[in-house]
């Protein structure tokens, strides 16, 4: 069994989109890749709307299992996924880099959050398939 690649989900504050992606990566794809998240700045808590809706939808309590952290706290990563910073996205050395271009739902109604969560879930599943393909080639 090969070592699972590490994926870092990155955005500026590491308090919403990247935390959702990390939680869904762990839930839906932990057998294929290891999920991490970080930002260039941290927030004292993960976005409460994100926490509430992830708990409702998946039974995951991100406030208990995750916290906002800095890029410097990450291990070396294979794949960097930026969430769509709309500012200068942080740079991390890696083998592959992709940007998901997701708008930050902070301050928006629940429907917007749920759309972001659903889009993140879809992309996690696509990433899982892509990694299986990439890494099965013995690349």
* 17: nearest Cα among 88, 91, 115, 105: 105
DSSP readout, 3-15?
PPPEEEEE-SSSS
Residue 139 has pLDDT above 50, yes or no: no
| Cβ proximity of 66 and 37 under 8 Å | yes
pLDDT digits (tens, 9 = 90+) for 105-132: 999 999 999 999 999 999 999 999 999 9
H or E segment to which residue 126 belongs: helix 110-136
Residue-wise pLDDT for 58-72, tens only, equals 999 999 999 999 999
Cα gap 10→121, rounded to integer Å: 16
Domains of the chain: 6-133 (3.40.50.2300)
Instruction: Quick: pLDDT tens for 2-47.
Output: 689 999 999 888 999 999 999 999 999 999 999 999 998 888 999 9
State the pLDDT at residue 12: 85
């Amino acid at each position: 069994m090969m070592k699972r690649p590490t994926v870092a989900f990155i955005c500026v504050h590491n308090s919403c989109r990247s935390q959702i992606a990390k939680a869904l990566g762990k839930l839906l794809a932990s057998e294929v890749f290891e999920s991490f998240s970080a930002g260039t700045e941290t927030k004292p808590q993960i976005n409460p709307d994100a926490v509430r809706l992830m708990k409702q939808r998946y039974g995951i309590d991100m406030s208990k299992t995750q916290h906002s952290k800095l890029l410097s706290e990450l291990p070396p990563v294979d794949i960097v996924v930026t969430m769509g910073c709309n500012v200068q996205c942080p740079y991390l050395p890696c083998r592959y880099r992709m940007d998901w271009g997701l708008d930050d739902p902070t301050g928006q109604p629940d429907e917007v959050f749920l759309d972001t969560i659903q889009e993140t879930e879809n992309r996690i599943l696509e990433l899982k398939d892509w990694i299986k393909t990439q890494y099965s080639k013995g690349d």
